Amino acid sequence: MKKIAVLASGNGSNLQAIIDAMEQGKIKGAEVKLVVSDKKDAYALKRAQQKNIATKTFLPAEFTSREDYDQAIVTYLQDMQIDLVVLAGFMRLLAPLFVAAFPNRIMNIHPSLLPAFPGACGVADALAYGVKVTGCTVHFVDEGMDTGPIILQESLPVYDHDTVESLQQRIHVLEHRLYPQAIALWVQGKIKLEGRRCLIDDN
């Protein structure tokens, strides 16, 4: 049974989608063992507690540097024997030491079709640019900002009447389907990396 840790800073709707997918049998052979947050009041922690999933909070203000903070989380995840780290609205860029500790074992989801519109404002940036199509991307995490190898992407149209809120809401629907799908592929060993390309074994 693969052990997954989910890192979240806010509401945790993608965490909920992952938990629901496991309960529905869409992700087999894995469990969410731990939810970690950098905020004490993150609703993601409550979602975890409602499902009897262990939680841990690491407050950045209690550490002297970004590296010390990330090392503390890494040590805790390693002690918990975590196999896969899943970022679900975790609003911090991971230090190189974190990425090195879990090579190709950290996933993130981003609300745009990367490499377009990376960073914290992907939906607003895409809308402001005037694109006709956007979507979401599940990718492995590397040392850059949303620059890791792309696992899965899905697109949707941008309508003339869209606002940031309406577009974000429709992208969330895609995210809640695509993220569990990517995790299931990883658990089943169906993702093969060749350079930057993630090849998916559909058999």
Q: Where are the alpha helices (DSSP H) in the chain?
A: 13-23, 43-50, 66-79, 96-101, 122-129, 164-187
- Per-residue tokens: 104: 């190709």
- Per-residue tokens: 58: 């690491």
Sign of CA dihedral 16, 12, 112, 58: negative
103, 126 in Cβ contact below 8 A? Answer: no
Question: Which residues are identified as catalytic?
Answer: 110
Three-point CA angle 74, 27, 52, nearest 5°: 60
163 DSSP β-pair partners: none
